[in-house]
Amino acid sequence: DVKVTQSSRYLVKRTGEKVFLECVQDMDHENMFWYRQDPGLGLRLIYFSYDVKMKEKGDIPEGYSVSREKKERFSLILESASTNQTSMYLCASTVGGGVYTDTQYFGPGTRLTVL
């Protein structure tokens, strides 16, 4: 079974803090993704990575950055957290390699609250 784990299920931070969300997958997947999920807005793609040290902006990258130093780990960074970044953050991974029917495997999510 593919397993995608996220470092925290719940996180509370203060405005202006630097926040790191960590995601690890154990199936040697090439591609990794970060989404945020908000009620009524669905899943919105923040950033994705299709190789180590490679990244591409998604639909809502503003206020976020990412890091992928190792194939299995993909980090989402909030440089200076703001209250409008309070959300559920979901990480996903796919096998990659140009397979258009690739399945996205999601982690359980991190619920971040910024006070």
Partner 1 sequence: QQQVKQSPQSLIVQKGGISIINCAYENTAFDYFPWYQQFPGKGPALLIAIRPDVSEKKEGRFTISFNKSAKQFSLHIMDSQPGDSATYFCAASLRSGGSNYKLTFGKGTLLTVNP
What's the min distance (Å) between Cβ of 57 and partner 1?
A: 10
Cα dihedral 52/58/62/64 (nearest 10): -30
Which x/- pattern over 45-74 shows residues binding partner 1 (rule: CB under 8 A)? x--x-x---x-x-xx---------------
Q: Are 48 and 32 in contact (CB under 8 A)?
A: yes
* Nearest-approach distance from CB 112 to partner 1, in angstroms: 15
User: Binding of partner 1 at residue 33 (CB under 8 A)?
Assistant: yes
Near partner 1 by CB under 8 A: residue from 76, 92, 112, 114: 92
CA gap 23, 81 in Å, rounded:
19
